[in-house]
Amino acid sequence: MTSESSQAFVWFWMPGATEPVVVGRLDRSGEVTSFTYGRNYLGQAEAVPLYLPELPLEDRVLMPLSGMSIAGCIADSGPDAWGQRVIMAKHAAGRSHRIDHLDLGPLTFLLESGSDRIGALDFQASSTRYVARTSHATLDELRQLQDAATALDAGEVSSPELLQALLHGSSLGGARPKVLIDDQGRKLIAKFSRASDTYPMVKAEGVAMELARRCGLDVAPVAVIDVSGRDVLLVDRFDRTEVPGERRMVVSALTILELDERWARYATYPSLAEQVRKRFSNPQRTLRELFSRIVFNICVSNTDDHARNHAAFVEGGQLTLTPAFDVCPQSRRGGEAVQAMELRADGYRFSRLAGAVSAAPTYQLSAAEARQIVDHQVGVIRSEWEDAADVARLTKLERESLWGVQILNPYALEPEA
């Protein structure tokens, strides 16, 4: 079954604004979605482009960049695997066909996912009336929502009320079940454990993020809590400010590299480093932070470091790296492992710290500076492991299963041949 919306209006929270304005229209034709700025928006003195070079402030139909089916900054605002599953469940409710038989298009996903999405965009069927699809759960409601997410994850369509609550968090990226939480004005994302988890993924991400903070990386604050005997990771949102209603525009590294999801395998750290040198504020400090994140990913076996798991704020004409997020040790057995993106221009992607050090010039670091970063992180992880594991509520058995396997796997510490 196919169900596709062919048009959607884009609403935007301009820098410093607490309410959105309509900026333009998306039109779907075949496999390609174009964007056109509204003339009223173009006529405003304070109008800014949504994102350059994709969507310049011009009075014409703007097609996606070569090789893309939709502007990357728009795609970044759409739901990923989990959100799409929630929306498909809504469409399947009360019908005879299965979720996996549905064929929903990208504009349908944009229009039906929650409005409190990452970044500063939202999508509406109307150009004149903004109606938010937003509702935040409280911490007290987490147990009920986790039950609903678990049921949906198992292929069971939940009650309409709970499904509606899950829909509000459907615009968030990633594959893990999650919902939006408002804890007395504090905006949080709650990530749930899954029945199919082969190791304590929620706690593993919690301890990795805690260790990253202790290593001096800029990371989103997290906390691991227990909800009726199951693990939940709470993540502070970095795309919102202390001003109620204000939002920050965010784009992924995939968008920065001008790549469609279909070509994500061509994203590399050296190409991202080149964009940092050209387009980011304080490029030298940013390159050091990027290199430090690469090192840390290797240290904790986060091999899911693909280009959608790196992002930047769009601020004026420049980009600024967001706090690190989704730093989760991946399941592994044995030694050899590879990162999702190449570390060096020659295609090197092995999860070895010595290999990262050899790539130091790409990040405007000397070999000595790179080794200092590596030594510092390895030292902190070793000395702070038990305390960080306490914070993440890891049991003795869970610590033993992670240490030396995901955390500081011996392969990561081996010298280059």
Whether 264 contacts 253, CB under 8 Å: no
Phi, psi angle pair for 192, to nearest 5°? -100, 155
- At residue 167 the predicted structure's pLDDT band, cuts being 50, 70 and 90, is low
For 350-409, write each residue's pLDDT tens digit: 999 999 999 999 999 999 999 999 999 999 999 999 999 999 999 999 999 999 999 999
* Alpha-carbon span 172 to 118, nearest angstrom: 6
pTM: predicted TM-score of the whole model, two decimal places:
0.92
| 324: three-class secondary structure by DSSP | strand
SS3 label, residue 416: coil
Phi, psi of 79 (to 5 degrees): -75, 150
CA-to-CA separations, 391 to 210, 222, 385, in angstroms, rounded: 8, 10, 10
Class of domain 139-236: alpha beta
> d(Cα 48, Cα 252) in Å, to the nearest integer?
19
The pLDDT tens digits of the residues spanning 321-356 come to: 999 999 999 988 778 999 999 999 999 999 999 999
**Confidence at residue 101, expressed as pLDDT on a 0 to 100 scale:** 44
